Structure 1
Amino acid sequence: MSFDQIDLERLNLLKSKIGEYPDFPKKGINFKDIFTAFRDGKVCAATKNLVLNYVKKNHPNIDAVVGLDARGFLFSFLIAAEMEIGCVPIRKKGKLPGKTEKVEYNLEYGTDIFEVQSDSIKPGQKVVIIDDLLATGGSLKAANELIKKCGGIVEANIVILELRSINGRKNLDVPVFSFIQYADE
């Protein structure tokens, strides 16, 4: 996707404010911190508009935005509210009431379990899944599986940051769009 001049300026502002923390959470990892960028209110507004414009242009007919625990929630609610569509959280095990679907997935540092409320996505509903970061692709893959278990259709996975050297997209069978890519992390 090519960005118009205003979105390119928004993207560059966001890029300029991403924090980096070497050797976190363990030696050899250069952690990219989106929360550092969000300390600036202009970056918050720019990021919201950047993501919203992308979704409206490329996925105007979706029924819901799915946000991953926890940073994906920041984006999913804002986009859903602006588009007046549903917002569905995918959470870590034990955080959602009612009947849930579950999927275990691999992380860079171990395994975890994601859950979604079984009735949150209706069969045939079209969604985009959003999160802050794509690394190994484990959490996005699990989210895609959960939506499919509920009968939903995942149109795309959207992330703000992608660590390309880890090549997490190879684990996904749904298109991925990332706003910022880091080659050597």
Structure 2
Amino acid sequence: MPNVADKSRLMTAEQFRVCESLPEYCELVKGEVAEMNRPSPRYGEICLELGSIIRNYCKKHDCGRAVCNDSGIIVQRSPDTVRGPDIAFYSFTRVPKGPLPDEYFDTTPNIVFEVLSKTDRWATTLIKIGEYLGADVEVVCIIDPEQQTARQTARLFRSDKSDITFTEDESLTIPELHKDFALTVREIFA
């Protein structure tokens, strides 16, 4: 891994994307590879459920596209930071229809969804939220399947610095995805 003291040895986003000797689960943080824990099956199930809801909604309303599976997003340059959100939504305003590139690109998504796992720490999560919002992501949605609180919640952080928490039976509305988009938080955990 690159040495922080030697900026000439820090990895770029482009080098990170093509490097074959990386750990299976990692992100690039300020030019250095940061390993992450392998997620649990329940975590994967929640990501798949939410990703399917977002994808199906996008297709039905022709409002954009969803990506998942920790698709790389450049949130900082010099030194580079590449985060891999669980799900991201790109409106067709930000990224026109057609195939997405096979490399990282400088357009950030409108919305990022992160599902907390048992190993996630709020301090690290708050850093990621700040990076996403600082990189022009409009909304960061943190899904908490009872790991950090006593109940299932979804918490939205917006670029205007506002945030709101939704509990199981409340309707999670995200007009940045589509003016009519809404689902109960409980649906995410079905």
Please state which band the TM-score falls in when normalised by the shorter chain: 0.3 to 0.5
More strand by share: 1
* Bigger fraction of residues in helix: 1
